[in-house]
Structure 1
Amino acid sequence: MGRQLALGAHALRAGIVDVFTWRFSFSEFIKQCGFMATTSVLPTLLVAIPIGVIVSIQVSNIAGQIGANSFSGAATGLGVVRQGAPLVTSLLLAGAVGSAIAADLGSRTIREEVDAMRVMGVDPVERLVAPRLFACVLVSFLLCGFVCFVGFVTGYVFNVYFQGGTPGSYTGTFASFASPSDLVFALIKAVIFGVIVAVVACDRGLNAQGGPAGVANSVNAAVVNSVILLFAVNVVLTQVFALIEPPRVV
């Protein structure tokens, strides 16, 4: 954990300094952004749609039992925005992007490319980790907004056309209970989750040992550690947001 914190701090500091001194590897950053986007957009879309449907079904059933069908829009929309979108984004990044980063850097480490970079005076954190970290943050930010939109629209369509809800009550209750801070906090969570996924994957890749089997173990450890950290940090961030932004009373 301490090693990963040190790596994350080093990568953030090196990336920010390199951007302002025009030493940042923008070509690697753009390449990683394209790779992460093409790898994760379709799986994220295929997961976001069922998440919106499942939340809509469960919320509508509970709301119907207590006679509060008009509030299903608020509950569904807020559930997707506050929890569903950041978690779906982070889990897809950990599974698709984090594993690819760990495999790539692990292979470079096993082939001693990383050691060769250090011998030539090239900092592998600046050259390899910082571009991937910044790319993962950007892609996570954009994917979270995409999942919020897709999840809300999916819940709306399913509630209105399959569960007998009314468009006005769905959007009206959501507008009454939701606020811009909900979306802002979801995007902040996505950025933090992107940092966690990138740092854990890079750390596991740069510390791979034991040949090809070590690379496979690094990929497995990167995904498992990322998922555990993501859920633990999500609990803390959710509690912090509840203290900063108390529930609205309408």
Structure 2
Amino acid sequence: MIESILLTAARIFTFDGQRMLTGASGFYFERDERLFLVTSRHVMIDEPSRHFPDRIEIEMHTDAGDMAKSTGFSIPLYRDRESLWRQGTDSAGGIDVAVIELERAALPATAVFHAFTPAHLQASPDQVEVGSALLVVGFPLGFHDSLHHMPVVRQAVLASSFGLRFEGQGYFLTDARTHRGTSGAPVVMRAPEHPALGGLPWKLLGVHSARLDVGTRDLKLDEALGLNCAWYADILMTLTAP
């Protein structure tokens, strides 16, 4: 048996034409029978680093009986110079989350994956305490089970008050070791007591974005903070609205 949480994550490659640019993480989100791929906005476009891919590619399992079988699935990011992906903003500015809808008919007929739904979003912040144990499911530095095409998980701890926008921004903090390539990974908390979640007993709390640091840190004397920002996952209800 493969844990369902591992089948929610997608390894993402960004391309400019045929030239591969970067690797990242993402995950599936389903709403009203529509299927979306979720990742960080800076995976789709990042002006400061002049990162302008025109398509992405994800790796999909194609045989439930043999996880070593997979195929690449290419997703264009633009049509007629208009972006096909959506991003969000709030009162504090841009949010580093993006979604793009997947055409189910174009997916491999035997595609194997699990998708989060609105039921997996955490409705009440009172039920999530600071210090709670979380997982970040993704592909740090592209590392994964290269035979079975599976992500890895990093343990994390909720490092700020859940439901309180840290410094007025739409994210909370996690304490975890993360690396490049983890951008866009789901940040989840185990929820086995919720029968409505079916075969995916996890709450989706956020979307991992980036590591945080202190500008005054002495690079020789002080270790990195080890803190990260994760954007609240409830933005997905806005980004996936009809």
Q: Is the TM value for this pair above 0.5?
A: no
Q: Considering only CA atoms, is the larger Rg found in Structure 1 or Structure 2? A: 1
The two structures have a TM-score, normalised by structure 1, of 0.24
The two structures have a TM-score, normalised by structure 2, of 0.25
Greater percentage in strand: 2
